Amino acid sequence: MQLGAAMSSLYDRYGGFKTVSKIVMVFYDMALDSDQIGDYFEDVDMARLIDHQTKFIASVMGGPASFSDDRLRKVHSHLGICHEDMDEMEQLLKQALVQFKVTEADIETIISGIESKRPLIVTEVTAS
């Protein structure tokens, strides 16, 4: 339970949904420009995706939103995401978190929460 308490304080400490939303916007600005993962976002309803990603990151930080493992698996199953793509996503998110002055320790906690969902998101072993 200690981890959950720490995560909850992260969501609150960094300004809740409003700040998480800004972090996700910065992340997607970088992701769209990424040679590694940018193609995933062609012909995607970005407003909807940003809303979902904001809720997901908020939940990882202990916020009120939650996502079931089944839902995460289902929405990513057809995308062919490989480990390299997931690594790139995590690196870009780290960069966005740094811009919002999230501490290194808190970044590692957030990335660890996302990393725990890797088996649900990655469906390919290597890039094609």
83 is in an annotated binding site: no
| Segments in 1-128 forming alpha helices (H) | 2-13, 16-33, 46-60, 69-76, 83-99, 104-115, 118-121
52 is in an annotated binding site: yes
Using the 8-state DSSP alphabet, how is residue 125 labeled?
Answer: S
* Tokens of residue 46, six digits: 């970005």
CA distance 97 to 75: 24
CA distance 119 to 3: 20
Question: CA 46: distance to chain centroid?
Answer: 14
Query: Do residues 35 and 42 lie in contact, with contact meaning Cβ atoms separated by under 8 Å?
Result: no
* Tokens of residue 40, six digits: 């995933």
Which residues does the annotation place in the binding site for heme? 52, 76
Residues making up the binding site: 52, 76
